Structures are given as structure tokens and as C-alpha cells.
Amino acid sequence: MCLRALPTSKLLKESEYGFAPVYGGGGVLPYSPKRALLEGRFAKVPVMYGMTRDEYRTFEAAQQLMGVPPLANEAEYAARVRAYVGAEKAPKVPARYPLRNYGSPSEAWSALVTDASFARSVTDFGRSAARRVPAYGYEFADGKAPWVANAADPGFPTGAFHAAELQYQFETDYFDENRMTAAQRHLADQMTGYWTRFARTGDPNGTGAPTWRAGGATTQVLAPGEGGIRRIDFAREHRYTFWKNLWPDEGCKRGDVSPHGRRRIDRRRPWRPRWVGRTVEQRAGHAQPRVDETACMNGGARGR
């Protein structure tokens, strides 16, 4: 059936997350990808999947570069956590992500959302895939990866931010390869070797490269320097069990705000961004400059 023939209410009901794929009706994606993975209803070919260690820092940086004030103190951080997970669950979270362990509230908040949304979904995906096919998981973890060339630096270290690994594999117009160190260039060569061998044979391993084991239990860390490429327990390092227990079933649906601290869409009435027509300065002074209906998706963009 053509989507244009369906009522808006049905479309909104079926599209909880803006980045989630459209499926059903016997088309290109007849089943939910999550269901297909769990049931083994997908092409049985080797899989490479993964993410960057500090995924959410890109989005936190984007907010600040667009004029949204960063979290200023522990009180604001606690309020954001409470709005995100709910008042009942909120007391359990700060002990796992205390501000004293991070250089700024922005870094603490980014770590929390990276684990709650990105890492949890990557872990679920890897475990499902590894039961059926050779699955090679990675975490790009160069904490000093050069930031986007044509964007100002945000007010905190961007670390291994979302999409940072692309400059280690491709020539792009938004990264400057001249900013990479010799160690980073060597890592780029190693990553290119892994990716091209995998594309050619279905196995990233090769002579002279650190061994990359398949399976959902371990993940290959990709970072520069001696010992930078190594294996880790990804689920443990990203507190998978904590978030799975806190939100047993796609918990980020239950929050009142998105990871950006914005109110979620009220489906009962038309929505219009409150920042439309405002200047950057006006938007910066607005506590909730816009609503993000695509945020906090379980199984959305994950660098697969």
C-alpha cells in the first residue's frame, strides 16, 4: 500500500523513531530488522559492526555549536538525568556516571547516552548476529582523533566522536588528513587492511595484523600506539547489564526528554519547532530550543 494513502495517525504510530527503517507489507524489508536478527531470517554472510567509543559527543558538540548552552553544573546534570530516565530510576544513575570522573558535565552526559543508547543497541546486534554468522565487532577508540576541519572546537574534548573513524578510511572534504599524527596514519593503514580483507574474504585478519576474533563476546578496539589494537569486553565497559536492567525493554521510549534534553513529541497535537524564526542568540537563551523526534532510538544509526 502506498504510504500516501495511510492516515497520519497510523504513520506516527508505526514510526516511533525517525532513524528506524521502514519495514513490512512484503516490500524490501518485510520484517523488523530486530526480529529478523533474533529469528535468523537474514542473509548468512559475515558481518562487521561497531561504533566509536564516544559516539554522543558529536551530538553534544553540535548542540553547543548551534548556540545551546552546555550543562553548567551538577544540579543541571542531575535534572537532565532525572528527565531522561524518570524520577524513580534517576537515583541509580549518578553513581555509575559521577561528574567527578569526567572533565565536564558534557563529557559525563555524553558517556551516559553513548552507553544507554548506542552501546546497548550495538551489543544486542552483535550477540544476535554472532549466533548465526561470523561477526566482527569493533570500537574505534582514538581519544585524540582530529575534530571536523570546518567546525569550531566545542567547549570539551571530543574524544572518539561519532564518525571520527571515517577520516582513517576515506578522503573527505570535512576532515583534514594533514592534522593526523604518524601514529594515527599507521592506525589508518591497519584499519584499511582490516576493512579491505573483510570485503574481499569475509575475514579481516591477515599477516602482520593483530588477530581479530569473531563472536559477540569480545570487541576489537582500534586505537593508535603500542597496544592500541586489543580486545575488550565491550558490554562490561559500556555498562550493558546496568542499562538492560534499568530499561528491560527499549527503555529510552519511556523518557520524557530526548538525549539532547528536549521534550519529546506530543503526538496528540501538531508540532512546530519553537526555534523557527529565532536568532542564534535567542535560541541559546531558550531552555528547550526544539524537539527531536529522532533521538534515543534503540537500533538506529550505530556504525554498522
Q: Which residue has the cell 553513548?
A: 114
Structural domains in the chain, sorted by start: 46-284 (3.40.50.1820)
* CA atoms 286, 292, 296, 300: torsion sign: negative
pTM of the model as a whole: 0.79
Q: Grid coordinates representing 20? A: 528506524
pLDDT of the residue at 132: 95
Per-residue pLDDT of the chain (304 residues; tens, 9 = 90+): 577 888 888 877 766 555 666 787 777 788 888 888 889 999 999 999 999 999 999 999 999 999 999 999 999 999 999 999 999 999 999 999 999 999 999 999 999 999 999 999 999 999 999 999 999 999 999 999 999 998 999 989 999 999 999 999 999 889 999 999 999 999 999 999 999 999 999 999 999 999 999 998 889 999 999 999 999 999 999 999 999 999 886 544 444 455 655 444 333 333 333 333 333 333 333 333 222 323 333 333 333 3
pLDDT of the residue at 237: 97
Residues 6+ apart with CB under 8 A from 191: 165, 168, 169, 222
pLDDT of the residue at 287: 32
pLDDT of the residue at 248: 83
Q: How far apart are CA 71 and CA 75, in angstroms?
A: 9
Contact between 77 and 105 under an 8 Å Cβ cutoff? The reply is yes
DSSP assigned state of 164? G
pLDDT of the residue at 7: 86
Instruction: Please provide the distance, in angstroms rounded to a whole number, between the alpha carbons at the two ends of the chain.
Output: 29
